[in-house]
Amino acid sequence: MADPKKLFIKTYGCQMNVYDSERMAEAMGAEGYVLTEAAEEADMVLLNTCHIREKASEKLFSDLGRLKPLKQAKPELKIGVAGCVAQAEGDEILRRMPLVDIVVGPQAYHRLPEMARANGQAVDTDFPEEMKFDRLPERKAPRGPTAFLTVQEGCDKFCAFCVVPYTRGAEVSRPVDRILTEARGLVERGVRELTLLGQNVNAYHGAGASGDYTLGRLLREMARIDGLERLRYTTSHPNDMDDDLIAAHGDLPQLMPYLHLPVQSGADRILKAMNRKHTAEQYLRLVERIRAARPDILLSSDFIVGFPGETDADHQATLDLVRAVGFGAAFTFKYSARPGTPAAEKPPVPTEVADARLYELQALITEQQRAAQDAMVGREVGVLYEKPGRLAGQMVGKSDHLHAVHVTDPEGRVGELVRVRISASATNSLAAVRVG
Ligand code: 5AD
Ligand code: SF4
């Protein structure tokens, strides 16, 4: 039998790209490709790209430059660009980088096998009628105890800084039965924890057997799947946190006490200019309601500093909001002007000012993150083992609150969900001993 062809995939950006890469690997698997970790031995290299900030986009072109010698040494090597840069800059990529054979957008990648079979350059950045998920091969390979599952894609919110509504397109929700089938299949293959993904996951509105399902209703349905012990979802918009979804955090033991709820800024002026359609006060009240439903929930968020027009007072308002909430984690970004978005037309905040604000916000968040982690010491929590630790007799996994935990447990097995007592807090992880 001939050696199988080898596929190398590099994934940039968000968790949805991680999920998409996995599905593309499976689609190419049906064509006889196996994954390789080494680009040098690949017959096909696929770069699954991110367009969210300027730096993320630029990486693509430097990586493509580095592939030139490989392509020269092996002209039959196929080079594909997928993801959001492919969607936004497909023609530009082909013009600047003739070594690229395939450009495929995030909604068209079910057509990748066909494109790979063809000769010459091929571009597909359509938003096709048919849903890619209906055309992709069934997921079969055994896998680890955690997995992502895309339930919703695209965004209709049009925040003034964001390219997602243009690269991923309008909001689309997958039907409930497809999601449940995929979830059950993953559980049969060893998955214990699912993270439901969507650019705006809590705007989920999927068709189900008995009408329209919201995310809260979908989660309640998923919590009934035998063997599925943990559920998470990301990323959410504050305005889509409805009562039922908030209540689900109190009602469903499977729904883990960690929620990523981006707020972006704590200044009403800036929130308005960002087209976020809520105030800082409304966000704080929402946090109160969520904590009333699930008091031990850890919140994380995204922040942008240096949005056009942001003053020192606005920045202080962001710091005030962070102090008022107390986050368990957060991602901070310096505003990056994205072509085609409304905010890109406005005069930027000077780089030094934005850098200083980023530094200050980051320091406050690091402090809060540390405090939240330290506060776990002495507590009993669940940990799902993902792999053996570096030390003998040690297992590593995530806590209910998404902290990395090293557990002393010589009997531990990957995929086991255990109770542990947290014994110490280190820089980026917790130590624990198994109980019970
Ligand atoms: N500049 C900086 N950060 C951005 N994000 C989205 N667009 C931009 C931009 N143009 C951040 C937001 C979002 C996260 C995924 O990326 O904080 O929540
Ligand atoms: Fe982008 Fe999120 Fe705003 Fe949608 S809600 S436009 S994905 S930041």
Structure confidence by residue, pLDDT tens digits, 34-90: 999 999 999 999 999 999 999 877 899 999 999 999 999 999 999 999 999 999 999
pLDDT of amino acid 205: 97
What is the C-alpha to C-alpha distance for residues 340 and 49, in angstroms, rounded to an integer? 18
Q: Is the pLDDT of residue 142 over 80?
A: no
- In the three-class reduction of DSSP (H, G, I as helix; E, B as strand; rest coil), residue 381 is classed as strand
Check the annotation: does 79 bind a ligand: no
pLDDT of amino acid 436: 77
Per-residue pLDDT averaged across 90-118, rounded? 93
Residues 120 and 190 in one domain: no
pLDDT of amino acid 1: 58
CA distances from 23 to 30, 292, 401 (A): 11, 38, 28
CB 102 within 8 A of CB 121: yes
Residues 164 and 286 in one domain: yes
Residues 188 and 213 in one domain: yes
Q: Which CATH number do you get for residue 402? A: 2.40.50.140
What is the C-alpha to C-alpha distance for residues 100 and 263, in angstroms, rounded to an integer? 38
User: Could you say which of 101, 124, 147 is where a domain stops?
Assistant: 124
Q: Is the pLDDT of residue 342 over 70?
A: yes
Q: Is the pLDDT of residue 15 over 80?
A: yes
Which has more confidence, 380 or 129?
Answer: 380
Per-residue pLDDT averaged across 175-186, rounded? 95
pLDDT of amino acid 140: 73
What is the pLDDT confidence band of residue 134, given thresholds at 50, 70 and 90? confident
What is the pLDDT confidence band of residue 138, given thresholds at 50, 70 and 90? confident
Percent of residues, the chain, with pLDDT higher than 70: 99
What is the pLDDT confidence band of residue 274, given thresholds at 50, 70 and 90? very high
Q: Is the pLDDT of residue 185 over 90?
A: yes
Which has more confidence, 129 or 414?
Answer: 414
Residues 28 and 92 in one domain: yes
What is the pLDDT confidence band of residue 400, given thresholds at 50, 70 and 90? very high
Check the annotation: does 162 bind a ligand: yes
Q: Which CATH number do you get for residue 38? A: 3.40.50.12160
Residues 241 and 338 in one domain: yes
Ligand closest to the CA atom of residue 346: 1
Expressed in angstroms and rounded, the spacing between residue 289 Cα and the centre of ligand 2 is 23
Q: Tokens 């980026």, residue?
A: 428
Q: Is the CB of 200 under 6 A from ligand 2?
A: yes
pLDDT of amino acid 36: 97
Ligand closest to the CA atom of residue 158: 2
Ligand closest to the CA atom of residue 302: 1
Residues 272 and 363 in one domain: yes
User: Could you say which of 324, 339, 374 is where a domain stops?
Assistant: 374
pLDDT of amino acid 104: 96
Residues 244 and 353 in one domain: yes
CB 75 within 8 A of CB 119: no
Q: Is the pLDDT of residue 210 over 90?
A: no
Check the annotation: does 30 bind a ligand: no
Nearest CA to ligand 1 atom 14: 302
Residues 80 and 45 in one domain: yes
Residues 172 and 90 in one domain: no
What atom in ligand 2 is closest to the CA of residue 155? 4
What is the C-alpha to C-alpha distance for residues 39 and 34, in angstroms, rounded to an integer? 13
What is the C-alpha to C-alpha distance for residues 48 and 53, in angstroms, rounded to an integer? 15
CB 197 within 8 A of CB 19: yes
Expressed in angstroms and rounded, the spacing between residue 267 Cα and the centre of ligand 2 is 18
Expressed in angstroms and rounded, the spacing between residue 203 Cα and the centre of ligand 2 is 11
* Among the listed residues 106, 18, 122, the one whose alpha carbon sits nearest the alpha carbon of residue 114: 122
pLDDT of amino acid 57: 79
16 pairs with which residues across the strands? Answer: none
- In the three-class reduction of DSSP (H, G, I as helix; E, B as strand; rest coil), residue 426 is classed as coil
Residues 353 and 389 in one domain: no
How many domains are contained in the chain? Answer: 3
DSSP state of 347: P
Check the annotation: does 26 bind a ligand: no
Q: Is the CB of 152 under 6 A from ligand 2?
A: no
What atom in ligand 1 is closest to the CA of residue 331? 17
Contacts of 81 (CB under 8 A, 6+ apart): 46, 47, 49, 60, 64, 90, 93, 100, 102, 103, 104
The amino acid present at 55, given as its one-letter code, is K
Mean pLDDT of the chain: 95
Q: Is the pLDDT of residue 301 over 80?
A: yes
Nearest CA to ligand 1 atom 6: 162
Check the annotation: does 396 bind a ligand: no
Check the annotation: does 20 bind a ligand: no
Per-residue pLDDT averaged across 119-128, rounded? 88
Contacts of 209 (CB under 8 A, 6+ apart): 176, 177
Residues 248 and 349 in one domain: yes
Q: Tokens 């957008």, residue?
A: 105
What is the pLDDT confidence band of residue 345, given thresholds at 50, 70 and 90? very high
Q: Is the CB of 199 under 6 A from ligand 2?
A: yes
User: Could you say which of 374, 389, 407 is where a domain stops?
Assistant: 374
Residues 210 and 354 in one domain: yes
What is the C-alpha to C-alpha distance for residues 364 and 366, in angstroms, rounded to an integer? 6
Alpha helices in 278-384 (DSSP H): 280-293, 312-325, 351-374
Q: Is the pLDDT of residue 139 over 80?
A: no
Expressed in angstroms and rounded, the spacing between residue 162 Cα and the centre of ligand 1 is 6
pLDDT of amino acid 102: 96
Q: Is the CB of 403 under 6 A from ligand 2?
A: no
Range of the domain at 9: 5-124
What is the C-alpha to C-alpha distance for residues 168 and 170, in angstroms, rounded to an integer? 7
